[in-house]
Structure 1
Amino acid sequence: MSKPLKQIHLAAHFPGVNNTTVWSDPKAGSHIEFSSFAHFARTAERAKFDFLFLAEGLRLREQGGKIYDLDVVGRPDTFTVLAALAAVTEHLGLTGTINSTFNEPYEVARQFASLDHLSGGRSAWNVVTSWDAFTGENFRRGGFLPQDERYSRAKEFLATTGELFDSWRGDEIVADPATGTFLSDAKAGSFVHSGQHFDINGQFDVPRSPQGRPVVFQAGDSEEGREFAASSADAIFSRYATLKEGQAFYADVKRRLAAYGRTPDQLKILPAATFVLGDTDAEAEELARDVRRRQVSGATAIKHLEFVWNRDLSAYDPEGPLPDIDPDVQDHHIAEGRAQVRMYRDPLATAREWRELAAANQWSIRELVIHTGNRQTFVGSPATVAGAIDELVQADASDGFILVPHLTPGGLDAFADQVVPLLQERGVFRTEYEGPTLRHHLGLAHPDDVRNEREAS
């Protein structure tokens, strides 16, 4: 008997962070005007996507003491934008990154519960931590937490917000819908929490939201991140969008769920993915090369190399050879607030590998960065891209993808009009939304139903 087809989950990330977006393209628009967010969200909803994802940065990043000129200059507040988008969409999920290192459980729970009410049950929270003191300088608790404490705080933060959401459980709170007065003796919103990181008690003032709790996303590839996702998240962002690596990540994270009394369908795995479409595969390949060259200017290439070398390389020609000097491996990093610095855990080994690649292919600094940087995930005609997405999902390399177009705000339009219909024809993507909440879109049970099932068993 053949295996039933998996339904593909698709989402859209509003681009702009790092050098993903091609700002030089005449079709590129604003990253701060609401019209850009509205266009992007309406396109995603027209295509029946699960959700829109909005990242958040708590400080503009610097390199060499100057604002990184390829970063987003001006980043509006996540909650404000998502609340505004709730008014111009009806079905699309609204996902935002909110930091657990520099916020407090009560305020975050209150904001997400409010957004869930405003949107009719479409909110989601991407829980992240922050490792750098550079960002911490913007907050009263300046500084940073070691990795084990970051995840310890994040787990308690998430558990505490859950207690706040659950303080208005529907089976315990009974009210007269006409007057709003309580008919039971239950004290709505009452909570007490005492732990390592938080010691709070009081009353939560936002009633139970349509989803019970917002959907929880987590992004992290470390051992701690994978375990955190398996224990507490509804979905995890993955950096693995290829078959072999994707299948290994998928199997590893899904395997961990059983230890927490969870089943594989209770956690969705969604890698980020870029795409370039053309009328033919050859045209798309040519366009992809052009996009990569526009994403990686000479200045960008030098800045990227500085992430590894941890030195000022501004005197080097981006069209010339790599530096002979070795990376500086001291703890201070030239790129303040750049998470990428931590991606290269052995800069000396990375430098050796890159020199070998450059020598073997006669690449300049810029050519090396173009070839070793983030490549487009899906390149080809609409039929080719639809087939590639379907193949990876059916092979359990992912449950779907979060698409990151290289143009703002119209970069999603062609995918919505040309690829989505082909996935629908294959029977692997919805033609209409199945329900009103984001949990419906993702095939996730209501938290109360999960709790009741556990108690019954």
Structure 2
Amino acid sequence: MSTPRKQVHLAAHFPGVNNTTVWTDPRSKSQIDFSSFRHLAETAERGRFDFFFLAEGLRLRELKGRIHDLDVVGRPESLTVLAGLAGVTERLGLAATVNATFNEPYEVARRLATLDHLSEGRAAWNVVTTSDAFTGENFRRGGFLDRADRYRRAAEFVRLSRELWDSWEPDALEAGDGRFVRPEAIGEVSFEGRHFTVSGGFTVPRSPQGRPVIIQAGDSDEGREFAAETADVIFSRHGTLEDGKAFYTDVKRRLAAYGRKPHELKIMPAATFALGDTEEEAAEAAAEIRRQQVGPQTAIAFLEQVWGRDISAYDPDGPLPDVDPDLSDGVSQGRVPIADRTAVAARWRALAEEKKLTIRELVIEVTGRQSFIGTPASVAARIDEFVQGDAADGFILVPHLTPGGLDDFVDRVVPLLQERGVFRAEYAGTTLRDHLALDSL
């Protein structure tokens, strides 16, 4: 008897305020208007995707003391947007990024449970952490949390949220329609941890999924361990088949320590794509997209983050700076800090020398995500290869256009995955847990 083929999981990422989106393309629309969110979500649902994914930004990034140009479009609050999308979609999962460092568990748990009710079981929470004081300046406590403690707080945050979600018995609503409540079915929560102390009753009945799906995006050792203990989905950035297999094996093996099975955690890397009628046409399209994403100004800005100094006098189409990085505080605020800028600069310099790359060409080379480039048939085959080869359970697709960048993929690639028998033709269930083939709670 042959082994059944693994099913591919797909999600849609609404492009964030960064150089992912090609702003100069006349088809590029607003990052704020609800119509943009609605278009991408409806396209993803038409393609029978698992979920729609929104990132978060709690402060506009700065470069050399100025707000970074690519941040000025703003960053709407995820749960508000997703509550609106719940009313115009029927099956698509709705994933919000909510920070576990600058929020409180009771309020986040209440908002997510509400979204799960409004959407009839389609809510998900991408748990992220922040340790930098720059972001913390927007909050009362500032940058109070040491970097080493951020996952401890996040783990406690998730544990407490789950206690709140589980505190109502499934049949607490006697009539099943929210009219009559059995008071004895509502439990009290008494939680005392290192970061949180809560004593009281939760205000929202148990939601259709039991609990929202948990997503985690960290790639450090602490992040992998946190995902193995708490997450249903991990959002990774591994771009090659070999790296994907190594990450997949490492994270899945950690699950046993928490009494979990491999299917209980889905690994879904971020991925971009470029399609063409021929392989050559797709390659040309991909190269042009990358040139538009990394213009001269953006190339210099990326290099300044590593070099830690003003290099605006250098030609982006010329060689790398002949000076070493400045290892003081640097020039960028609001981005994930680069742990060893000297080592990164050395790697970049070696790569530029080996391939004879200009500054702009180098940045294009080193900032690319996992990309599927080719005809619809070759892209479908490559996605299937990753999933069947245990390098991923699926992908979170990041289109380069807002909001229509997913249209071609849904129209041209999804039908081929369906023909291969590795992607659903219709939704089999109603909740996001159903779509992800996760165990019921």
Give the TM-score normalised by the residue count of structure 2: 0.97
Contact kept in structure 2, 1:19 and 1:71, CA below 8 Å: no
Contact kept in structure 1, 2:272 and 2:399, CA below 8 Å: yes
2:184 corresponds to: 185
SS in 2 for 1:21: coil
Superposition CA RMSD, Å: 1.4
Partner of residue 203 from structure 1, selected from 201, 204, 219: 201
CA-to-aligned-CA distance 1:260-292 (integer Å, 9 cap, x gap) = 111001000000000001111110000111111
Is residue 294 from structure 1 mapped to residue 292 from structure 2 by the alignment? yes
Structure 2: runs of 5+ lacking an equivalent: none
Contact kept in structure 2, 1:241 and 1:397, CA below 8 Å: no
Change in 2 beyond 3 A, CA 1:168/1:22: same
Structure 1: runs of 5+ lacking an equivalent: 448-457
1:59 corresponds to: 59
Partner of residue 246 from structure 1, selected from 213, 226, 244: 244
Change in 2 beyond 3 A, CA 1:353/1:30: same
Question: d(CA) in 2 for partners of 1:417 and 1:181?
Answer: 46
What aligned pairs does 1:331-410 form with structure 2 within 5 A after superposition? 332-339=329-336, 341-342=337-338, 345-375=339-369, 377-410=371-404
CA-to-aligned-CA distance 1:349-388 (integer Å, 9 cap, x gap) = 2222222322333322111111222155100010010000
CA-to-aligned-CA distance 1:162-199 (integer Å, 9 cap, x gap) = 0100111216x36345883444634x152111111001
Is residue 94 from structure 1 mapped to residue 115 from structure 2 by the alignment? no
1:452 corresponds to: none
2:120 corresponds to: 120
What aligned pairs does 1:12-411 form with structure 2 within 5 A after superposition? 12-71=12-71, 73-170=73-170, 173=172, 175-177=174-176, 180-183=179-182, 185-186=184-185, 188-330=186-328, 332-339=329-336, 341-342=337-338, 345-375=339-369, 377-411=371-405
Change in 2 beyond 3 A, CA 1:441/1:56: same
Question: d(CA) in 1 for partners of 2:303 and 2:177?
Answer: 64
Question: d(CA) in 2 for partners of 1:100 and 1:2?
Answer: 44
Contact kept in structure 1, 2:296 and 2:360, CA below 8 Å: yes
SS in 1 for 2:430: coil
Change in 2 beyond 3 A, CA 1:376/1:213: closer
Question: d(CA) in 2 for partners of 1:434 and 1:384?
Answer: 27
Contact kept in structure 1, 2:237 and 2:369, CA below 8 Å: no
Large movers: runs of 4+ above 4 Å: 176-179
Question: d(CA) in 2 for partners of 1:152 and 1:24?
Answer: 42
Question: d(CA) in 2 for partners of 1:416 and 1:281?
Answer: 19
Contact kept in structure 1, 2:17 and 2:75, CA below 8 Å: no
Q: Percent identity?
A: 64
1:423 corresponds to: 417
Which amino acid in the other structure matches residue 434 of structure 2? H
SS in 2 for 1:98: strand
Question: d(CA) in 1 for partners of 2:357 and 2:319?
Answer: 7
Paired positions, count: 441
Contact kept in structure 1, 2:12 and 2:44, CA below 8 Å: yes
Give the TM-score normalised by the residue count of structure 1: 0.94
SS in 1 for 2:80: helix
Question: d(CA) in 1 for partners of 2:16 and 2:45?
Answer: 20
Question: d(CA) in 2 for partners of 1:352 and 1:427?
Answer: 46
Which amino acid in the other structure matches residue 119 of structure 2? S
Question: d(CA) in 1 for partners of 2:68 and 2:178?
Answer: 55
Question: d(CA) in 1 for partners of 2:54 and 2:241?
Answer: 26
Which amino acid in the other structure matches residue 254 of structure 1? K
Contact kept in structure 2, 1:175 and 1:184, CA below 8 Å: no
Give how far 1:97 is off: 0.4
